[in-house]
Amino acid sequence: MAKINDYYQKKQLMEKLAAELEKLEKDQALKSELEFENKVRDLMKEYDKSPKDVLQILSAIDPSIAGAKAETATGTRAKRPLKTYKNPHTGEMVKTRGGNHKTLNEWREKYGKEAVQSWQQD
């Protein structure tokens, strides 16, 4: 009986979604947006441009859109700051941009996390 209940629930959900989709398709604002999107895609094909090219052009026109969208699209981010730690017991120095350094982890096991953190140089 569980399968038949699942079937009817999904059928009702499909009918509900179909009604919502039909309502959206009649919405003039959506029609306008879809028409604009199609025209932009046609222009991109006509001039052989990618979405990335279009974003670069738009960011030249309006620099405020370049910051957030362009950087996240390329997947780059700022480097972590370089941190230097000096072991007062051995005089050994370690420079790292991340906290998962082999030598630092060994020091943390031997001397404790707080002690090693206090060895950070500025």
**48 pLDDT higher than 70:** yes
Do 21 and 61 have their domain in common?
Answer: yes
Residue with the two structure tokens 């480097």: 79
Per-residue pLDDT tens over the stretch 61-78: 888 876 654 445 556 788
Do 55 and 96 have their domain in common?
Answer: no
Do 89 and 51 have their domain in common?
Answer: no
Q: Which residues contact 104 (CB under 8 A, 6 or more apart)?
A: 85, 94, 96, 116
As for how many domains the chain has, the answer is: 2
Do 12 and 54 have their domain in common?
Answer: yes
Burial 79-106 (b: 16+ CB within 10 A, else e): eeeebebebeeeeeebeeeeeebeebee
DSSP annotation of 82: P
Domain that holds residue 114: 83-121
Cα(111)–Cα(92) distance, integer angstroms? 14
Do 58 and 12 have their domain in common?
Answer: yes
Q: Shortest CA distance to 106 belongs to which of 81, 97, 92?
A: 92
Residue 33 resides in a domain: yes
Do 58 and 89 have their domain in common?
Answer: no
Residue 31 resides in a domain: yes
- Tell me the whole-structure pTM to 2 decimals: 0.43
**22 pLDDT higher than 50:** yes
